[in-house]
A and B are shown apart, each in its own frame.
Chain A
Amino acid sequence: GAVVSQHPSRVICKSGTSVKIECRSLDFQATTMFWYRQFPKQSLMLMATSNEGSKATYEQGVEKDKFLINHASLTLSTLTVTSAHPEDSSFYICSARAFGAADNSPLHFGNGTRLTVT
């Protein structure tokens, strides 16, 4: 149980274009999803917390107009990287917490999306 599906797994796009990444909880409802960014050989950096039916909460230093998050249903959150630039190339990972789970309960991660901006 507790499977999180992330799509696409890899995407290459040209500078200036936008890319949408989807994160789905397949067998549970997730009121809260988290979006992380991971640079090579580094840790997970929390970008934003996505709450179903409300605006996402962004971490300090993360541009909300550049990284658009939408959590339209209890099983789907999307991250759109707008006007992508080469420095946005990274590994983006989502995670989800089941509906009703405590705020500090374990997270279930998607497989991640490797974004390369040329």
Chain B
Amino acid sequence: GQQVMQIPQYQHVQEGEDFTTYCNSSTTLSNIQWYKQRPGGHPVFLIQLVKSGEVKKQKRLTFQFGEAKKNSSLHITATQTTDVGTYFCAGSGSYQLTFGKGTKLSVIP
């Protein structure tokens, strides 16, 4: 079945440093979605990428979808303490979403 690998599992950064999490799928995806889960909270949808090579930005967050539609990345520029949480990618084949294991981001003030 479809598998979605996400690395790293944990990332500790100093406030102001950049952060990147990577997602790889074993199969070609129709789209990829990114969610953020704050500590003690529930996943919240951030963005969806559909096109090969697509790049989308949300303020300090940059999302990329690979040319082969099998990998994706989320990059945060100049992290802030409000960025703390776990970031999940979720890949979609033809039916259901498969979530990666998430990357837990800690930001040291």
Point out residues on A near B: beta carbons under 8 Å: 34, 41-44, 46, 49, 93, 95, 103-112
Asked if A43 contacts B94 (CB within 8 A), the reply is: no
Smallest CB separation, B90 vs chain A (Å): 8
Contacts of A34 in B (CB 8 A): 96
Smallest CB separation, A105 vs chain B (Å): 8
Point out residues on B near A: beta carbons under 8 Å: 30-31, 33, 35, 41-45, 48, 88, 90, 92-97, 99-102, 104
List 17 additional contacts besides A49-B96, A106-B33; criterion CB under 8 Å.
A34-B96, A42-B101, A43-B88, A43-B99, A44-B43, A46-B96, A46-B99, A93-B42, A103-B96, A104-B92, A104-B96, A104-B97, A107-B43, A107-B97, A109-B35, A109-B42, A111-B41
Contacts of A46 in B (CB 8 A): 96, 99
Asked if B31 contacts A104 (CB within 8 A), the reply is: yes
Contacts of B41 in A (CB 8 A): 111-112
CA–CA, A104 and B45, complex, Å: 13
